[in-house]
């Protein structure tokens, strides 16, 4: 049996932990203004400014998304809570059925 040309394949990519379904996206350079004293302390502590900004933006945008979701769905959430107060949850019915009084 004759062997063809052997091709070197790229090594397998190392395992990466999924980060909330966030795909790697292109980075964009931006200019920001930061308090000089705070920047000096951050640099002394070897804080990666890009990572810190991304983390802060991710937290802030997540909070804003949650706030907007609540505002957009407030009527349904309030109605649902009223029904739960009046009738309980479906799991309450199962607990009674199986004799759990918790």
Q: What's residue 91's pLDDT? A: 82
Q: Which residue ranges make up each domain of the chain?
A: 36-97
Alpha helices in 12-100 (DSSP H): 36-44, 49-87, 90-97
Show Cβ contacts of residue 95 under 8 Å, excluding neighbours closer than 6 positions. 101, 102
Q: Would you write out the chain's pLDDT as a tens digit for each of its 102 residues?
A: 455 555 556 556 655 555 556 667 788 999 999 999 999 999 999 999 999 999 999 999 999 999 999 999 999 999 999 999 998 887 876 776 666 555
């Amino acid at each position: 049996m004759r062997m063809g040309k052997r091709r070197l394949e790229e090594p397998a990519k190392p395992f990466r932990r999924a980060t909330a379904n966030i795909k790697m996206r292109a980075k964009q350079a931006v200019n920001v203004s930061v308090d000089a004293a705070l920047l000096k302390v951050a640099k002394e502590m070897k804080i990666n400014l890009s990572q810190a900004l991304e983390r802060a933006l991710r937290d802030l945008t997540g909070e804003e998304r949650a706030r907007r979701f609540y505002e957009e769905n407030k009527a349904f959430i309030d109605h649902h809570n009223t029904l739960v107060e009046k009738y309980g949850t479906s799991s309450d019915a199962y607990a009674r059925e199986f004799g759990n009084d918790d």
